[in-house]
Amino acid sequence: MRIKDQWNEQRIYSSRTFAALLVIGLLSLALLGKLAYLQIIRHDYYLELSQGNRVRQDPIPASRGLILDRRGRVLVDNEPAFQLELIPEQTPELPGTLQRLAALGLLDRDDIEPLKRIIRSRRGFDSVPVRLRLSDEEIGRFAVHRFEFQGVELRARQTRHYPFGELGVHALGYVAAVSEDDLDRIDKPGYAGTTLIGKLGVESAYEAQLHGLNGYQQILVNAQGRSVKFQGAYQPDLRAEAPVAGKDLVLALDLPTQQAAEEALGDRRGAVVALDPTNGDVLALVSHPGFDPSLFGRGLTRSEYSLLTGNEDKPLLNRALRGAYPSGSTIKPVMALAGLSYGIVDPERREFCNGAFHLPGSSHLYREGKGGKHGAVNLVDAVARSCDVYFYSLAAQLGVDRIAAFAAQFGIGALTGIDISGEKPGLLPTPQWKKQAFKRPQDQIWFPGETVNFGVGQGYLLVTPLQLAHMAATLAGRGQSFQPRVVMGERAAGGAIVRNAPVATRGATGISDENWALVLRGMIGATTYGTAAAISKDARYTIAGKTGTAQVYTVAQNARYNEKTVAERLRDHAWFIAFAPAEAPRIAICVLVENGGFGASAAAPIARRVLDAYLLAGPVAGAAAASPPAATRAPPP
């Protein structure tokens, strides 16, 4: 048995116990230091974090502004509808949930992937709409299977309502679910709780005014995001802010005029644009065929969308702003003014039209568009009867540069600056343009013959219906021109309409009153004894007009047309521009009928109906004529 050294052991215990207590003391101090740091120095910071944890901000969407016509008639309003919304953090298994919704027929399979991307880009507790505007039958179908869809809720939300359906869709635009691209350009927090965003026309261009400001309501939540009653000692200051409703927009559009234009165009492809020449107000804007804007508001499936985009009549194309066509003879009043202004034509001198024109030293014959001979015609007759030979000769004498410079004063080849987006500038051809546009040197030369064609609005010249309406308005205003505007102002809280000031543009200057009068005589002649004489029948006002026929050279190569439609699609486009009353114009109009054939017979009668609708309606009678469904605006929840 070994003898233990008691004294040594006692010494070891004492020193080690002392060391251990020292370590315990130091560690306790370190812990105390950390706790004091957390609970005293950083107390405010952590208190705020703990408050932020338990308080969630629930958005209250602002009511979207209404869209009214120029007399306050409701064109677009809001109505409650049920939609399916998904809260990502409460959905246990996202891909499966979406698949099962698709299996129930409540979701298009093609929409699943884009939806997933949208859901990923949102915060976990933000409700994402997966399907807008359910029908009663669909609501029932979902209700039966509701228990299978944790995190998916049926919610009543305000959606957009278009009481007149397709009417003016290319001007009004439509709303659709906020897309990934939208998320990149909008203020995301400002759109929390907003499901629909303007996509076209006024809905898109005036999105900021229409949308308003969303409000919010803070609520207490637990870690799962569920609303709870728990208060605790630190009563959080639950704030709420009421939403600010979007502005009600007053359009320049006149509902009866728009309706007349839509009806007159019928199911033909084409466009009608009517402007007020004194201020640029867009009184009517039609592009046919159109589409039902509410399709998008209820959530268009991919297949429905491809049906629209695949349609050979291109219903999504806004022909009024984006369709570019040769102007045909509608350019002739401007040509006549150019000839007069540059002193090239003597208005009284009669040229002899034998049905064809040739440049000196060339045997190529430029024929009358519709054959025939006009005999001896002066300038007024040439405009009224649309004599091509007269204008071939005039154009050849003017030269391309002077024609282009003069036409530019009437807005040809430039954007009109209309307040909705998507407008195309068309093409005002010049020798400089040709040099840049073509690669091969032999194509870059401007030929004298091209100037001759320019004189009757053929060749490279391309215009949009909006541009021709703008040109007609500039002619009506004797050179005075304004930026076309679809939106005239806003409806203030009391119901009073606040009008924006019209925006004047440069217009055409330096043209003498005699010259204006001569061209006006020609245009009145066109509707009295000239090409469009038929439309003045029984008119209670004087119409100044000009027909046009734009040749169609080719049919798009990849288009699949049958023979019957090929023949139809190769027919000329019919134009008609006009303003009335000729003495003090209140409306200028442009009508395009694609493949309509002759302008006088296809386009001019449409213009007459629109002019009647606008000019013959009494100041109040118009308001009573159209009775849209009562405007609904639900108060914010």
Q: Which residues are catalytic?
A: 329
3-class secondary structure, 18: helix
Residue closer to another protein (CB basis): 6 or 442: 6
Residue closer to another protein (CB basis): 14 or 354: 14
In this chain, which of 105, 181, 184, 223 binds another protein, going by CB under 8 A? 223
Q: Which tokens hold the place of 622? A: 């118009």
Q: Which of residues 7-46 bind another protein (CB under 8 A)?
A: 8-9, 12-17, 20-21, 24, 27-28, 30-32, 34-36, 38-40, 42-43, 45-46
Residue closer to another protein (CB basis): 125 or 342: 125
Residue closer to another protein (CB basis): 7 or 553: 7
Cα→Cα distances 250→80, 183, 610, Å = 23, 28, 21
In this chain, which of 7, 147, 230, 553 binds another protein, going by CB under 8 A? 230
The Cα–Cα gap between 419 and 279 comes to 14
Q: Helix, strand, coil: what percent of the chain each, to 5?
A: 40, 20, 40
The torsion defined by the Cα of 606, 611, 612 and 618, in degrees rounded to 10, comes to 150
The Cα–Cα gap between 497 and 499 comes to 6
Residue closer to another protein (CB basis): 50 or 311: 50
Least distance to another protein, CB of residue 192, Å: 21
Interface with another protein, residue 238, by CB under 8 A: no
Residue closer to another protein (CB basis): 28 or 135: 28
In this chain, which of 105, 136, 137, 232 binds another protein, going by CB under 8 A? 232
Residue closer to another protein (CB basis): 122 or 402: 122
Least distance to another protein, CB of residue 92, Å: 17
Least distance to another protein, CB of residue 44, Å: 9
Where does 72-200 show beta strands of DSSP type E?
74-86, 128-131, 152-161, 175-177, 196-198
Angle at 244 between CA 242 and CA 248, to 5 degrees: 150
Interface with another protein, residue 224, by CB under 8 A: yes
By CB under 8 A, how many residues form the interface with another protein?
Answer: 45
Q: Which of residues 54-93 bind another protein (CB under 8 A)?
A: 54
| Contact call for residues 547 and 565 (beta carbons, < 8 A) | no
Least distance to another protein, CB of residue 128, Å: 20
In 3D space, the residue among 253, 287, 294 whose CA is nearest the CA of residue 77 turns out to be: 294
CA 416 to chain centroid: 15
Each residue 458-497 as x (binds another protein by CB under 8 A) or -, in order, gives ----------------------------------------
Least distance to another protein, CB of residue 127, Å: 21
Residues shown for the chain: 637
Interface with another protein, residue 233, by CB under 8 A: yes
In this chain, which of 139, 228, 238, 616 binds another protein, going by CB under 8 A? 228
In this chain, which of 121, 135, 150, 222 binds another protein, going by CB under 8 A? 222
User: Is the CA virtual torsion 433, 438, 444, 448 positive or negative?
Assistant: negative
Other C-beta atoms lying within 10 Å of the C-beta of residue 462: 21
Residue closer to another protein (CB basis): 42 or 120: 42
Judged by CB under 8 A, the stretch of 2-10, 278-286, 446-454, 526-534 that binds another protein is 2-10
Cis peptide before 88 (omega within 30 of 0): no
The Cα–Cα gap between 257 and 70 comes to 11
Judged by CB under 8 A, the stretch of 3-11, 125-133, 344-352, 618-626 that binds another protein is 3-11
Beta pairing class for 356-358 and 365-367: antiparallel
Judged by CB under 8 A, the stretch of 4-12, 69-77, 276-284, 527-535 that binds another protein is 4-12
Write the CB contacts of 353 (distance below 8 Å, at least 6 apart in sequence). 368, 373, 374, 375, 376, 377, 387, 389, 390
The Cα–Cα gap between 364 and 354 comes to 15
* N-to-C CA span, the chain: 92
Q: Which tokens hold the place of 180? A: 């990934």
Residue closer to another protein (CB basis): 31 or 566: 31
- Max CA pair span of the chain: 150
Least distance to another protein, CB of residue 290, Å: 49
In 3D space, the residue among 504, 471, 480 whose CA is nearest the CA of residue 578 turns out to be: 471
Least distance to another protein, CB of residue 100, Å: 27
Least distance to another protein, CB of residue 237, Å: 14
| Contact call for residues 517 and 300 (beta carbons, < 8 A) | no
Interface with another protein, residue 427, by CB under 8 A: no
Q: Which of residues 367-426 bind another protein (CB under 8 A)?
A: none
In 3D space, the residue among 245, 293, 250 whose CA is nearest the CA of residue 634 turns out to be: 245
Least distance to another protein, CB of residue 22, Å: 12
Residue closer to another protein (CB basis): 29 or 504: 29
Least distance to another protein, CB of residue 24, Å: 5
The Cα–Cα gap between 525 and 455 comes to 20
In this chain, which of 22, 50, 346, 629 binds another protein, going by CB under 8 A? 50
| Site residues for another protein per CB under 8 A | 2, 4-5, 8-9, 12-17, 20-21, 24, 27-28, 30-32, 34-36, 38-40, 42-43, 45-47, 49-51, 53-54, 220-224, 228, 230, 232-234
